[in-house]
Amino acid sequence: MKHVFVSLLATILITPVALGQNGDEIRGTDIGVSFNLYDFKTAELIRSNSLSVVLRDKQFGNISDMSPGIGLHYFRGLKKHIDFGGSLNASFLNHPFPDKPDNGIDRLLLQLEATAQFKMVSDKYWVQPFLIGGLGGQKYYIHYGAYVPLGVGLNVNFFDEGRLFINSTYRVPITTATANYHFMHALGIAGRISKKKEPVVITPPPPPPPPPKDSDNDGIIDDNDKCPTVPGVAKYEGCPVPDTDKDGINDENDKCPTVAGLAKYEGCPIPDTDKDGINDEEDKCISVPGVARYGGCPVPDSDGDTVNDEEDKCPRVAGPVDNFGCPIIGIKSFEIVFRTGSAVLLPRGKSVLDTVAAYLNRNPDVSVTIDGHTDNTGSDKVNNPLSVRRAEASKAYLVKKGISADRMTTAGFGSTQPVADNKTAEGRQKNRRIEVKIKG
């Protein structure tokens, strides 16, 4: 039932006005009156926050915050999709001025404006959405100002005699000291005051004499048609042109009579020289197989490292395949560079991290993980948080060197991932380390 209702409504909206319409698609001259609402609060919220915030938080001004008013209107069609509008609007309200205190007194606001309505459809349709743009001037108490009205609206045309209109405009001040941003919403009616054009009556010509009989309507009279019941062409004396593959090219001129093609290829399909499934007319690399999203060319490899740009994390710098197309960072891990039992970096550790920072500055597309490890001296309760603090200390040092924190992820593994035997002093020293790896 819902689909039926929507279909019916859509049919009404797109159907031309059938009754009372003289066929003229340009609007006549109308005068009208409207009820208006002035909204300064929503405009202030948009400017102090943003349109997205107002929409997200539904911070629209309530009707109780708006000031009522009336308007007198003059409309005249200029072209099929452009109407001129002149309006005089009035309201008693407390007009806020930028950088001026609110005196709390309601005074008369008069606004006179000229606008153009850019209609989506011509005047022969029932419903006409439109955009508004123009220029206006206002007087409030002793203040004169100017503004630009911009907005949207909708006309409902009643048999070309009158119309209901609704619009909403955002008034952008030109004189910012004597005018302010605000919305005005209008609902009104307008009636036609100009005469309708008289319909042009065209006298029909006398009926032509009956043509010779042509049973198949192919333009060849039955007396000369060898196939009088089947449409054909004169070349074949009224019989159809033979076209085995139904591509519109008769078999006599078709070099591929059993495969549909195009006339420019003499009835054959568009060729695909490199057999990549993209025909030569759409293929920018005719002789090299490629993919559609690159116009038939292969996926590019900007740095020539055999890792295409879609899979290359460093597309502008060559690197091996097993490192995602990025250069080897130059240092994957380093031994203890912190003060014993703490996360305070020693000078040797800072020197190593300077090397990492230089690499990351050269390769802005690379992100890394920083993993902290310890030997098995002490308990996990001590080693685990110590390894995390050391990784975080390394990250903090790199941030000071200008590397974005978003490019680094830290983790601490305590003594769970040794790379050497913890039974020897040499092995324990190797296990007390920080590893910097390119993210996969």
| Cα–Cα distance for residue pair 113/84, rounded to 1 Å | 11
d(CA 177, CA 200): 55
Q: Which domain holds residue 370?
A: 333-438
Which residue among 152, 176, 192 closes a domain?
A: 192
Residue 27 structure tokens: 């609007």
Rounded to whole angstroms, how far apart are CA atoms 431 and 417?
Answer: 8
Domain boundary among 139, 170, 192: 192
pLDDT of residue 2: 47
Domain-ending residue, one of 157, 192, 227: 192
411 within a domain of the structure (yes/no): yes
Q: Quick one: angle between helices 347-362 and 380-400, nearest 10?
A: 50
Residue 186 CA, chain-centre distance (Å), reads 30
Report the CATH number that the domain containing residue 115 is assigned in CATH. 2.40.160.20
The stretches in the chain having pLDDT less than 70 are 1-23, 197-199, 309, 312, 317-319, 322-323, 325-337, 340, 440
Using the structure block, give the residue that is written with the tokens 């300064």: 40
Question: So what's the pLDDT on residue 38?
Answer: 95
Q: What pLDDT score was predicted for residue 199? A: 67
Supply angle C-alpha 219, 222, 225, rounded to 5: 75
Contact by Cβ (8 Å): 346, 337: yes
Inside any domain, residue 292 = no
Q: What is the CATH number of the domain that holds 373?
A: 3.30.1330.60
Residue 183 lies in a domain: yes
Number of domains present in the structure of the chain: 2
Q: Is residue 68 part of a domain?
A: yes
Is residue 228 in some structural domain? no
User: Domain for residue 34, yes or no?
Assistant: yes
Residue 202 lies inside a defined structural domain of this protein:
no
Residue 96 lies in a domain: yes
In this prediction, residue 8 carries a pLDDT of: 42
